[in-house]
Amino acid sequence: MGTIIEQPPVKAIVGVLTAAPEILPTVYHQLTYQFGDIDYTSELLPFTSTNYYESEMGKDIHRQFISFENLIDPGTLAGKKLYTNQVEQTYFTEGTTQRRVNLDVGYICLAKLVLASTKDHAHRIYLSDGIYAEITLRYYQKTFQPWEWTYPDYRLPTYINIFNHIRTIYREQLNI
């Protein structure tokens, strides 16, 4: 029998997609109620990996990643996803169910980047309340590495550099 070890806290991240960047300050203000102060914001990057979201959000979609100063218990990921879903709903295009912002919540720890999802798949594990977890990237040979199921944009060197930077912030917080 293995010994149960208390898990260290992890660094919450949110990947944001929007074609309306002017709403981001308000969205980020709402996120701080759940996550605390933002300690990192990437540049706003063009989202060109797929046109999947264009029918809902329009063209000229951008991606931005943020992380938060407060570290979280990894066991709270499902609740964090439920909260970000509520935030998304407050920004539906008036009179529709079309999102103006898509919030991909997850966390970074020393070994991996985990994302929450409402969709099941063979490589996802059910958490609770209709929320699944996916190990999207693994940290191997001093950098994050994709899996066969990793989203195309999360494979991009620009994104990998962002995640490596957030991991460095996290390591400093852990005093490692």
Domains and CATH numbers, the chain: 10-174 (3.30.70.260)
Task: Give the pLDDT confidence score for residue 31 in this predicted structure.
Answer: 98
The beta strands (E) that lie in the chain are given as: 10-18, 38-41, 45-46, 62-72, 101-108, 112-117, 125-128, 131-140, 143-146
Q: Which two tokens stand for residue 57?
A: 């959000």
Q: 49 with 77: CB under 8 angstroms?
A: no
* 47-67 pLDDT per residue, tens: 998 888 888 888 999 999 999
Mean pLDDT of the chain: 95
Residue 141 has pLDDT above 90, yes or no: yes
